Each structure stands twice: as C-alpha cells, then as structure tokens.
Amino acid sequence: MVFASISFLYYFLPIVFIIYYLVPQAAQNIVLLLASLVFYSYSEPVYILLMLLAILSGFLHGLVIDKFKSQKEEKYSRMAMISSVVVSISLLGFFKYADFFIANFNHVFKANISFLRLVQPIGISFYTFQILSYTIEVYRGSADVQRNFLHFALYVSLFPQLIAGPIVRYTTVASALDSRRHSWEDFAIGVRRFTIGLAKKVLLANVLGELCSAFKAVSEKTVLFYWLYAVAFTLQIYFDFSGYSDMAIGLGKFFGFHFLENFNYPYIAQSITEFWRRWHISLGTWFRDYLYIPLGGNRVSTARWLFNILLVWLVTGFWHGADWNFIIWGLFFGLLLILEKYFYHYLFAKLPPFFSHLYVLFCVIIGFVIFDAGGIYDGVSSVMGMLGLLEMPLFNQEALYYLQSYAVVLLLAIIGSTPLFNVLVRKVKSKKHGELIVNLVEPVFLLVLLLMVTAYLVDGSFNPFLYFRF
C-alpha cells in the first residue's frame, strides 16, 4: 500500500484514525502496531515474517547488549552489538543483493549459478538501518534499552515511515513510544504537511514521471529530449521522495510522533557538500554517525581520509540499489566531495553564487541520470547524449512537442523546489491582517489540492513510487 492511493486515503487511514482515538491511550500503541502490520502485509504478506524476524533479532540483541554493558563484561556486549550488525546486514544482503553477487561471480569466473530471483522486500533498507541505529546506540550508552517488545516492534514498523523513511533514530521517538501528547495544533500541522506532500508526489512527481517514461519509449532521441528527461527526472525524484517524507512527517504528527526533517531545499545548494546536507538528511547523518566517524572521519591521515570518503560513498550508492550504476553514482559524489575539499575555494568560492549554483545543478543532474540508468552502458550513453556526443540531432518536432506540453509543470516544479513560496507566505503574514488572510485561504487551498489529487488517482493515472526500488 502506498500513501498516494484511494485505498490508503479514504479507507485505511480514516479507519485507523477513528479506532486510534476511540480506544484508551494504553491501547493506542497496539492499534498502531496492528495497523502497521496490516499496511505492510497489504503489499507483501510473506515478507512480513522477515520484518518480524528482524524486529525480534534487534530486540533480543538490545537486551543482551544492555545486560553485559558493565566494565567486566563489556566484551560480551561488544560481541552482541557486532552480532546484531552481522545478522541485520546479512538479511539485507541476502534479500537485496544476492542476484547481484551471483551475476558478478558468474561473469568473473564464467560460472552458471542460477539466480534466486527474490522479490526485494519493500522498506528493508530503511527498517534495517533503524534497527542498527538502536542496537549501536544501546551499546554506546546513548539510548536506554527497550524492554517492551510491543514498543520496539512499533518503532521499527510504524507505517508512516516504514517503506521509505525518513530513517528514524530510536532516540528521536523513544519517549513518544511510552507516552505522547496530542493536540489540535499538531493535527493541523500534520494535515497541512501531509496534503502538500501528497500534492508534490501526485501532481508534480507523477506528471514528471510521465515525461521520463515518454522519453524512454521514444526510439529517435535528441540532445534536447535528453536534457528534458534529465531535468524532469531530477525534479521527479526530489518531489517523489521529499513528498513522501512530508507525508510521513505529517502522519507522524497525527499520532503524536515528531520525525526530523529529511529535505531542506537541496537544489538551492552552492556546493555538493551543502547539497548532501540538504538531501535525504536522515540517510546522510546515519552514514556519518555509524560509518564515517567510526572509521576516523577526517581526524586521520590524508590517505585514510580519502579511503573513508570513498568507502562511505561506495556504500551509500550500493545501499540505493544492487547494480553498478548505483555504485558509480555514489563514487561520483564521493570524488566531487574530495575535489571540493581541495579546489572549491579556488574555483567557486570567490565567484558570484550563480556559478557555484550552476555547477551543483549540473553535477546533480548528471548524477541522477547515472542513478536512473539501466546499467553502466545506459548511464554512459545518456550522459553522452546530453553532451551531444552521440550521432543525433539537437532537437526535432517530437522533443519540441514534449517541451511545450510539459513546460508549465517543469516551471512549477522548478519554483516548487525553492523556498520562494514559503518566503511569499511569510511576507504576506508580516503585513497587516496578513496572518488572518493566510489562515482563511490555507484550508481552501489544501482542500483544492486534495480534490485534484483524488481526481488524478480516481482516473487511474501514472502513479509509481521510485523508492520502492531501493
């Protein structure tokens, strides 16, 4: 089940919401846990057993880690923490990467091992990292062990962030698992955040996805069409994923949880370093805290720092998908970050912000074209097409037709990827009676968005979710 669906919006969510607020507070966690299990099993009834196994492993490992945390038995606590990492990564590796390793083994050693052809469990990359953050934090002493299995299972499986994040740290929601406060203010904020995220996903990301699909279906491509596709996909993945994060944060507020922000207008960044501080924040901070810093971070020799950066970004790319183009995508950004460390000050820092912004957008667009490729060859071919290095015309009538047809959506998406709208709202609020005007207009605006989304979904239009792949 996905948030952007009639079944979720008008059946699942209202039923869960009504039951949640009708039962006593002591039973609300049970309602949320059962709802989360139903939500997950709607799409993958078999793999719910895998998620429950991962939850049980994380819960038991946490208990063992806590039991042996004393100075004399610390080595057993460390062994339990390492065991948790091995079990979690093994489950993730087997179900997500088995065929990738088999394919490469067959290629290198000319073998003929049959593929397992496992269907990748939805959300496994996200809930695996949540379990790992818990056991590692318990080992470090920065989180108290959770002795209530129901609470721990709810932390891992909570449906607002289950299938696509943001990656929620246990310390962020630990107190809310025991007791939480509900208010009309949080509910109103949640409605606004969820509706805007839903509109970003359905009215922008989905429509941009139609343009990307049209490009891939066309046999006679042009340089213009390559760039149309590249820009459209770069915007699509932002509105798809940030829209989902908005919906997750909004849903969390419905039920008294406060998830941290996951996106902060990454396309206004002036450097690649800044871009990754603004994009998928929960993933970036996860790798920083649990891989980069334990490796030594930047408090090591230059050679070791270079190794740390490249390893982290290799793993970041591989986390996103079991194919070489994801690894290349990760290493591409790792190399850019290294180059920025040594040369950014000389190349861009003294120039007008426009040039550094242009450089960031160009690199990000190239990166996402590689990200979306069907393999290394497809990625290289697409980049060459964008640079005019393939034998093809600059444009044709078909490319111009799609540019004209999607110009308004592209323009709205470009504006929507900046803080311009929020800045305008704040300026209106600062005027006399401005806040009253905004408070009167906002509910109507949100209702119109919801009606437009509903009409789009009822029509059965194009409605993919990109991060199901990852």
| Phi, psi angles (nearest 5°) of residue 375 | 150, 180
E strands along 225-320, which residues?
Answer: none
- Cα–Cα distance between 417 and 231 in angstroms, integer? 12
Of 129, 124, 156, nearest to 285 (Cα)?
129
The active-site residue out of 151, 258, 320, 357 is 320
Give long-range contacts, CB 8 A cutoff, 24+ apart: 261-269. Answer: 261/166, 262/165, 262/166, 263/238, 265/417, 265/418, 265/419, 266/238, 266/364, 267/238, 267/361, 267/364, 267/417, 267/418, 268/357, 268/417, 268/418, 268/419, 269/357, 269/360
Exposure string of 216-248, with b = 16+ CB inside 10 Å and e = fewer, is eeeeebbbbbbbbbbbbbbbbbbbbbbbbbbbb
Q: Phi-psi category of 3—alpha, beta or left, where left has phi over 0 and alpha has psi -120 to 50? A: alpha
Averaged pLDDT for residues 55-76: 90
Burial of 173-190, coded b for 16+ CB within 10 Å and e otherwise, reads: bbebbeebeeeeebbebb
pLDDT at 239 over 70: yes
Burial of 458 (0-12, 13-18, 19+ CB in 10 A): exposed
Q: How confident is the model at residue 219 (pLDDT cuts 50, 70, 90)?
A: confident
Per-residue pLDDT band for 43 (boundaries 50, 70, 90) equals confident
Query: Is it the case that residue 465 has pLDDT exceeding 70?
Result: no
Mean pLDDT of 65-80: 87
Q: Looking at the predicted structure, is the pLDDT value of residue 461 above 90?
A: no
pLDDT band for position 349 (cuts 50, 70, 90): confident
Respond yes or no: is residue 320 known to be catalytic. yes
pLDDT of 294-328, one tens digit each? 999 989 999 999 999 999 999 999 999 999 999 99
The pair phi, psi for residue 294, each rounded to 5°, is: -60, -30
Whether a cis peptide bond, with omega within 30° of 0, leads into 166 is: yes
Residues 167-183 have a mean pLDDT of 92
Does the reported pTM lie above 0.85? yes
Has residue 464 got a pLDDT over 70?
no
- Rounded to an integer, what distance in angstroms lies between the CA atom of residue 281 and that of residue 285? 6
pLDDT for the residue 127: 95
Q: For residue 287, with 0-12 CB atoms within 10 Å meaning exposed, 13-18 middle and 19 or more buried, which class applies?
A: middle
Can you tell me whether residue 254 is helix, strand or coil? helix
Model pLDDT for residues 73-124, shown as the tens digit of each residue: 788 999 999 999 999 999 999 999 999 999 999 999 999 999 999 888 888 9
The residue behind tokens 């607002």 is 160
Q: What spatial distance separates the first Cα and last Cα of the chain, rounded to whole Å?
A: 16
What six digits make up the tokens of 203? Answer: 């009215």
Q: What is the reported pLDDT for 345?
A: 74
Q: Residue 70: which pLDDT band, with cuts at 50, 70 and 90?
A: confident
Helices and strands, counts by H and E, the chain: 20, 0
Domain boundaries, the chain: 6-180, 186-270+348-458
**Do 215 and 398 touch, CB atoms closer than 8 A?**
no
Residue 441: is its pLDDT beyond 60? yes
- Cα–Cα distance for residue pair 351/355, rounded to 1 Å: 7
Task: Let me know if 345 is exposed, middle or buried by CB neighbors in 10 A (0-12, 13-18, 19+).
Answer: exposed
Mean pLDDT within 318-344: 93
Cα separation, 459 vs 5, in Å, equals 11
DSSP codes of every residue in 336-383: HHHHHHHHHHHHTTTS-HHHHHHHHHHHHHHHHHHHHSSSHHHHHHHH
Residue with tokens 């246990």: 170
